[in-house]
């Protein structure tokens, strides 16, 4: 075993090429994938792993790479017999991340992830057998997530029960990224307006990676479970997912869906980025295509990593019902709030205020003041005049 201390920031394959004595990047990459390189004492199988100055790297430059055996196919590295698995240190499927808590591998299309029947050969059973043969510490293994048989992507295996419970309970909070291969074309780097099962509308951002005259490869910022919600939006744009459904075109004999990215947060808050490459089948179908250039109004950015973490939630995307109403009806949302306010207050205020104030105040004030004043003044004067005339007449008669 040889070792060195990293002097310059970069990737692990660059460090091995500059300081490890590997003449080509291809040899350094093969050594990393075969488990011959350790970073800070842990086996790393991802050539693009970021390294910083001061990190310790140990490697075995004389270790031979795994050769092809009669029971193994180069196109499908997972399909080989038990004897080959026991004698080989190479994993049955590509491993993109591994530490003391969990492992992430790529499940190819055509494989069942896990099954309750132990007689059924699955991708998890293959990886479990390989891990158990690597050391006695890999005994408490659990699968975390499942993918459909015709779909490929990242699958996790927890190395203890604590991490299995943490990953499964918080799975919906982890951000995912998927590649979707469709027949048809979409505007470059835009958003799909989708509708959830409860009727809420959500915008899903995508990026057009490459396009040919017939197909388009999309990088979508959404979990793989959201495929059923994205399909109606794609159909409205005259796009059909490859191999999804009986009537869909199927040039690859598989579904055009691949889960390529997963952002995991550990129980202690540690952030882990797991990524994979575009499947070779996708690249073969898109050979000769071009990358569409986005227009000025297209500003969707689908990036995965620490620089973008936290700005785009994984499952609950930021809702935009206001924008949806403007696009569909052309009317702002505020108009709907004015209707219940105008109706109840217009009628009751106009009638009771106008009528009672005009009648009782104007008419009775004139009658009560004018009539009683005239009667009191006229009657008492007339009564006093009569008795005086009678008394005068009687007095005059008596004198006579």
Q: How much is the pLDDT for 242?
A: 94
Q: Quick one: which H or E segment has residue 283?
A: helix 280-285
Q: How much is the pLDDT for 202?
A: 86
More confident residue, 395 or 247: 247
pLDDT at 319 over 60: no
Q: Does domain 91-169 have CATH number 3.30.2350.10?
A: yes
Q: How much is the pLDDT for 50?
A: 83
| Stretch 177-189: mean pLDDT | 93
Identical topology for domains 1-64 and 91-169:
no
- Residue 30 corresponds to which tokens in the numbers above? 């093969």
More confident residue, 340 or 266: 266
Cα separation of 88 and 80, whole Å? 11
291 falls in which pLDDT band (50, 70, 90)?
confident
Instruction: Tell me the HSE value of 243 on the side-chain side, using a 13 A CA sphere.
Output: 20
Q: Quick one: which H or E segment has residue 38?
A: strand 37-39
pLDDT in tens, 248-280: 999 999 999 999 999 999 998 888 989 999 999
pLDDT at 111 over 50: yes
pLDDT at 32 over 80: yes
pLDDT at 342 over 60: no
Cα separation of 239 and 84, whole Å? 43
Lowest mean pLDDT among 62-66, 232-236, 329-333, 339-343: 339-343
Q: How much is the pLDDT for 64?
A: 54
| Stretch 190-197: mean pLDDT | 85
More confident residue, 133 or 169: 169
- Residue 94 corresponds to which tokens in the numbers above? 């590509």
CA distances from 110 to 152, 176, 225, 276 (A): 8, 21, 18, 18
pLDDT at 209 over 70: yes
Mean per-residue pLDDT of the chain: 75
With b for 16 or more beta-carbon neighbours within 10 A and e for fewer, the 173-207 pattern comes to ebbbbbbbbbbebbebbbbbbbeeeeeeebbbbbb
Q: How much is the pLDDT for 336?
A: 42
Q: How much is the pLDDT for 296?
A: 53
156 neighbors 123 (Cβ within 8 angstroms):
no
Cα separation of 310 and 330, whole Å? 33
Q: What CATH number should be reported for the domain whose range is 1-64?
A: 3.10.290.10
More confident residue, 175 or 134: 175
Q: Please, what sign has the CA dihedral across residues 59, 60, 64, 66? A: negative
Task: Give pTM, 2 decimals.
Answer: 0.59
pLDDT at 96 over 80: yes
Q: How much is the pLDDT for 301?
A: 66
42 falls in which pLDDT band (50, 70, 90)?
confident
39 neighbors 99 (Cβ within 8 angstroms):
no
Cα separation of 145 and 2, whole Å? 37
Residue 184's region, left for phi above 0, alpha for psi from -120 to 50, else beta, is left
Pairing of strands 95-98, 42-43: unpaired
Give residue for tokens 């009191």.
376
Domain positions in the chain: 1-64, 91-169, 174-261+272-345
Q: How much is the pLDDT for 326?
A: 43
Which residues face 176 on adjacent strands?
262
Give residue for tokens 């069942």.
112
Q: How much is the pLDDT for 294?
A: 67
Q: Which residues contact 380 (CB under 8 A, 6 or more apart)?
A: none
- Residue 114 corresponds to which tokens in the numbers above? 């896990």
Cα separation of 187 and 216, whole Å? 10
4 neighbors 55 (Cβ within 8 angstroms):
no
SS3 143: strand
Give first-to-last CA distance, the chain, whole Å: 171
């Amino acid at each position: 075993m040889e070792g060195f201390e990293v002097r310059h920031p970069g990737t692990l394959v660059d460090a091995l090429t500059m300081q490890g004595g590997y003449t080509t990047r291809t040899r350094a990459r093969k050594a990393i994938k075969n488990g011959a390189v350790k970073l800070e004492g842990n086996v790393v199988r991802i050539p693009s792993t970021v390294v910083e100055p001061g990190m310790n790297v140990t490697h075995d430059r004389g270790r031979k790479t795994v050769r092809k055996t009669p029971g193994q196919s180069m196109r499908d590295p997972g399909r080989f017999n038990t004897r080959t698995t026991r004698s080989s240190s190479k994993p049955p499927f590509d491993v993109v991340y591994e530490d003391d808590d969990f492992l992430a591998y790529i499940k190819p299309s055509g494989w069942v992830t896990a099954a309750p029947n132990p007689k059924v050969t699955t991708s998890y059973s293959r990886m479990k057998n390989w891990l158990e043969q690597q050391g006695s510490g890999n005994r408490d293994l659990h699968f975390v997530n499942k993918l459909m048989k015709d779909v490929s992507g990242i699958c996790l295996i927890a190395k203890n029960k604590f991490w299995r419970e943490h990953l499964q309970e918080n799975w919906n909070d982890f951000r995912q990224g998927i590649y979707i291969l469709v027949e048809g074309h979409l505007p470059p780097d835009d958003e799909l307006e989708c509708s959830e099962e409860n009727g809420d509308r959500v915008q899903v951002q995508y990026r057009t990676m490459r396009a040919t005259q017939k197909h388009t490869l999309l990088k979508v910022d959404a979990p793989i479970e959201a495929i059923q919600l994205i399909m109606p939006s794609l159909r409205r744009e005259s796009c059909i997912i490859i191999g999804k459904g009986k009537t869909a075109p199927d040039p690859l004999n598989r579904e055009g869906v691949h889960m390529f990215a997963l952002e995991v947060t550990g129980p202690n808050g540690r952030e882990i980025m797991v990524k994979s490459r575009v499947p070779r089948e996708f690249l073969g179908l898109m050979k000769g295509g071009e990358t569409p250039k986005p227009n000025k109004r297209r500003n969707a950015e689908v990036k995965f990593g620490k620089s973008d973490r936290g700005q785009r939630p994984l499952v609950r995307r930021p809702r935009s019902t206001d924008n949806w109403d403007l696009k569909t009806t052309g009317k702002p949302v505020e108009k709907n709030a004015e209707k219940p306010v105008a109706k109840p207050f217009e009628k009751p205020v106009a009638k009771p205020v106008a009528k009672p104030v005009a009648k009782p105040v104007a008419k009775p004030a004139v009658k009560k003041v004018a009539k009683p004043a005239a009667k009191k003044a006229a009657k008492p004067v007339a009564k006093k005049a009569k008795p005086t005339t009678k008394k005068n007449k009687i007095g005059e008669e008596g004198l006579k």
